[in-house]
Amino acid sequence: MKMKKISWIAAAFALIVPFRTASAETATPVGSDTCIACHAERGESFKASLHNKKITVTKKVEADKACETCHGPGSLHAAAAGDKTNPGFATIRNPSKTDPKETSKICFTCHNNKDNMLWNTSAHAANGLTCTKCHSVHNGKGPKNLKLSANDTCYQCHTRQKADANLPSHHPLAEGKMECVSCHNPHGGPLGNLKAESVNETCFKCHSEKAGPWTTEHPPVAEACTVCHKPHGSVNEALLKQPMPYLCLTCHKSDHDIKITKEAVPAGSLNKFSAQTRQRCTNCHREIHGTDGRATFKN
């Protein structure tokens, strides 16, 4: 009976010890060559990647330590020799399969500039996205090790904005003159992942002539450019939400008659002139973003 009891304890101890020792804390580094011995394809793609060049030059990480810088020490994983039932197999970290917050911590070890550090303020983080959703450490082909081009990366999820960007009036993304990241910081920002502090500040970086200051401001312009404009694309000219005069009439409820004398208009064209003038408010009210002249925004 005593021998049976000892055997039972020994068996229990044998089961406990591997789980106690098989942890990332007890694993030790083995070097990248050991990793590449099994993961040859991964190793070759990583060597050719921008990530590899950056980590060795910018971060001064030795090539032999590159794999374990992100994946953790690999001795127990290597000793498992591909046996997934061995507790040591799971001691290696796979950022693409870990908890999103844990993945972020791994990446932020190196990528800790001020833009990236806004991550917790972003809609992407709130929706459980990880760095590896957009970036590929081993196979990134685009800038910043993106899996796709900058715009196509965004369009994977932002399909409505992709459709808007192909409407008749749009910012020149398709033409290659700007990208989504020209206005947005995908890693976070104070308002809708914008790079600037507000919508208007974002727009005024390119459209500075609309910024003023003006003696007389047009209230919707002061509030936000998006009161009148759709930034991602529109069927109307100048990214307007509605065509004129309907857009203007949403605020200026009282339409007004235009007094036109025959003396001011060539003979036979009075009706034509009146229709053209009433069709476009800016035919008369040209300074709609603000003016230092008349309060009716005429130049």
Tokens of 129: 């996205």
Q: How confident is the model at residue 212 (pLDDT cuts 50, 70, 90)?
A: confident
Q: How confident is the model at residue 256 (pLDDT cuts 50, 70, 90)?
A: low
pLDDT in tens, 15-47: 434 443 445 569 999 999 999 999 999 888 888
Residue 295 predicted with pLDDT over 80: no
pLDDT in tens, 103-124: 988 999 889 888 899 998 898 9
Could you tell me which residues come within 8 angstroms of residue 57 by beta carbon, excluding any fewer than 6 positions away? none
Q: Locate the domains of the chain by residue range.
A: 20-93, 99-195, 215-299
pLDDT at 252: 84
What would the mean pLDDT of 158-181 be, rounded to a whole number?
Answer: 96
Q: Alpha-carbon distance 232 to 174, whole Å? A: 12
**SS3 (DSSP) at 229:** strand
pLDDT in tens, 48-84: 888 888 888 877 888 889 999 999 999 999 999 999 9
Q: Alpha-carbon distance 149 to 140, whole Å? A: 10
Which residue would you say has higher pLDDT here, 88 or 4?
A: 88
C-beta separation of 190 from 121 below 8 A: yes
Q: Alpha-carbon distance 20 to 275, whole Å? A: 85
pLDDT at 12: 41
Which residue would you say has higher pLDDT here, 18 or 205?
A: 205
Q: Provide, rounded to the nearest whole percent, the portion of the chain with pLDDT above 70.
A: 82
Task: Among 8-17, 38-47, 126-135, 179-188, name the one with the lowest average pLDDT.
Answer: 8-17
C-beta separation of 122 from 188 below 8 A: yes
Q: Alpha-carbon distance 70 to 93, whole Å? A: 7
**SS3 (DSSP) at 291:** strand
Q: Which residues of 279-297 are buried (b: 16+ CB within 10 A; e: fewer)?
A: eebeeebebbbbbeeeeeb
Bridge-based pairing state of the strands 216-217 and 290-291: antiparallel
Residue 298 predicted with pLDDT over 70: no
Phi, psi at 189, each rounded to 5°: 170, 165
Task: Among 2-6, 170-174, 182-186, name the one with the lowest average pLDDT.
Answer: 2-6
CA gyration radius, the chain = 31
pLDDT at 50: 80
pLDDT at 224: 94
pLDDT at 281: 86
pTM: 0.76
What's the mean per-residue pLDDT of the chain? 83
What would the mean pLDDT of 209-217 be, rounded to a whole number?
Answer: 89
Q: How confident is the model at residue 189 (pLDDT cuts 50, 70, 90)?
A: confident
Residue 10 predicted with pLDDT over 50: no
Q: Alpha-carbon distance 283 to 270, whole Å? A: 16
Helix extents (H) in 32-149: 32-38, 40-47, 50-57, 66-71, 75-79, 100-108, 123-126, 131-134
C-beta separation of 228 from 220 below 8 A: yes
Across 140-259, the runs of DSSP E, i.e. the strands, are: 216-217
